[in-house]
């Protein structure tokens, strides 16, 4: 049983990711046990927030003691469904796609890019980080062959919908879209947008109007 409650806020999922990051840091420092209070401080959140977030998934702490760091990392990972590897397809091997392919942390965290696809004939056949770039047309075959579950779109924005359509047709389960374009997907496909500019905009807003807001 991984989920105790029915609906889990999106914000909770985002925070769980932060908790893992901070807990891993504690682990590296040699801390074995941590209280919600101390974890909260390191994550800049309220301590009840942490306890409530965890309560959606189960009881992971020991009263009077706190949380065993390694155990909590394991529990959160299981709760999020990242206690196993996920096979990913990368569509669009340009600047950003290459940076992602070269990023070791993806496989370390369990997201393994097993297929790199592009439609540019000059790029097809090229090998990046031990991965051969193949034609987008091969997506359906490769998705089945390699059990790819998550599609990562790093094409130009005007091609994002097409890339999504390929992925959906190939039977992918979720899509992470790095292109700054809204795309339409059937509702059984999980879709996440990553837009770097959002945070640049937010930074500009807060710096500019630092006196009135913030």
Of the candidates 17, 65, 202, 203, which one interacts with DNA according to CB under 7 A?
65
Paired tokens of 92: 């669009």
8 closest CA partner among 55, 75, 72: 55
> CA nearest 18: which of 42, 34, 35, 47?
42
Binding mask 28-47 for a second copy (x = CB under 8 A): --------------xxx---
Residue 191 near residue 174, CB atoms below 8 Å: yes
Among 27, 103, 159, 162, which residue sits at the site for a second copy (rule: CB under 8 A)? 103
Binding to ligand NAD (CB under 6 A) within 83-112 occurs at 91-97, 99-100, 103, 105
**Cα–Cα dist 20/77, whole Å:** 8
> By CB under 6 A, which span of 5-13, 25-33, 51-59, 149-157 interacts with ligand NAD?
149-157
119 in contact with ligand NAD (CB under 6 A): yes
Which of 38, 77, 78, 159 binds ligand NAD (CB under 6 A)? It is 159
Contact between residue 133 and residue 93 where contact means Cβ atoms under 8 Å apart: yes
Region of 22 (left: φ > 0; alpha: ψ -120 to 50; beta: rest) is alpha
Phi-psi region of 30 (alpha: psi -120 to 50; beta: other; left: phi over 0): left
| 51 contributes a contact to a second copy by CB under 8 A | no
The least distance separating DNA from the CB of residue 67, rounded to whole angstroms, comes to 6
User: What SS3 state is found at 113?
Assistant: strand
Partner whose footprint covers residue 81, from DNA, a second copy, ligand NAD, none (CB < 5 to 8 Å by kind): a second copy
Instruction: Please pick, from the candidates 20, 42, 55, 191, the single residue that binds DNA as defined by CB under 7 A.
Output: 55
Per CB under 8 A, the list member of 140, 149, 159, 162 interacting with a second copy is: 149
Which does residue 159 bind out of DNA, ligand NAD, a second copy, none, counting CB within 5 to 8 angstroms by kind? ligand NAD
- Give DSSP secondary structure letters for 164-207: HHHHHHHT-SEEEE-SSS-----TTSEEEE--HHHHHHHHHHHH
Which residues are near a second copy by CB under 8 A?
Answer: 2-3, 6-8, 10, 13-14, 16-18, 21-22, 25, 42-44, 79-82, 86, 95-96, 98-100, 102-103, 105-106, 109, 111, 149-150, 173-176, 180-182, 188, 190, 192-210, 212-214
């Amino acid at each position: 049983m991984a989920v105790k409650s029915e609906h889990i806020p999106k914000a909770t999922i985002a925070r769980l990711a932060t908790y893992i990051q901070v807990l891993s840091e504690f682990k590296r420092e040699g801390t074995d046990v941590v209280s919600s209070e101390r974890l909260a401080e390191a994550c800049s959140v309220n301590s009840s927030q942490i306890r409530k977030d965890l309560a959606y998934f189960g009881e992971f702490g020991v009263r009077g003691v706190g949380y065993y760091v390694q155990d909590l990392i394991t529990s959160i990972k299981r709760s999020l469904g990242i206690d196993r590897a996920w096979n990913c397809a990368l569509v669009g091997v340009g600047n950003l796609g290459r940076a992602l392919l070269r990023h070791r942390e993806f496989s370390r965290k369990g997201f393994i890019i097993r297929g790199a696809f592009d439609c540019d004939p000059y790029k097809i056949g090229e090998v990046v980080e031990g991965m051969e770039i193949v034609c987008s047309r091969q997506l359906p075959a490769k998705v089945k062959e390699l059990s790819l579950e998550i599609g990562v779109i790093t094409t130009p924005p005007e091609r994002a919908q097409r890339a999504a359509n390929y992925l959906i047709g190939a039977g992918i389960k979720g899509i992470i879209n790095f292109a700054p374009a809204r795309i339409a997907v059937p509702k059984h496909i999980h879709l996440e947008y990553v837009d770097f500019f959002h945070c640049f905009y937010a930074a500009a807003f807060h710096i500019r109007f630092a006196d009135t807001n913030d």
